[in-house]
Amino acid sequence: MKWVLVDKYDNINSRAELHSGYGKKSAKKYFVDKKNLDESSFDKIWRVMSEEEYEAIQRSSLQNKQYEWWKDEESYLDIDKP
């Protein structure tokens, strides 16, 4: 199964493919050992999830997010305004 190490900004930092018999706990232990941190420090920075879980979260967040580009436009760029 494929596992990803995700930071607090939802960016993938690392990937690992472990035997299908290993679960989330084993994947987390792998990444904790790889980062050489204790578990509480690790939990403050990182999250471990399956690649499928990560992709599902990304899809749902894109569907719920509407970019309102007009709020980013600068008002001084409109030369027709007095």
For residue 17, being part of any structural domain is answered with: yes
The total of structural domains in the chain comes to 1
Range of the domain at 14: 2-54
pLDDT in tens, 54-68: 999 888 876 666 666
pLDDT for residue 60: 80
**Torsion 17-18-22-27 (CA) sign:** negative
* 45 within domain boundaries: yes
pLDDT reading at 76 higher than 60: no
Instruction: Look at residue 61 and give its three-state secondary structure.
Output: helix
What is the spatial distance between Cα 29 and Cα 35, in angstroms, rounded to a whole number?
10
4-53 confidence digits (pLDDT tens): 999 988 899 999 999 878 899 999 999 999 999 999 999 999 999 999 99
pLDDT of residue 47: 95
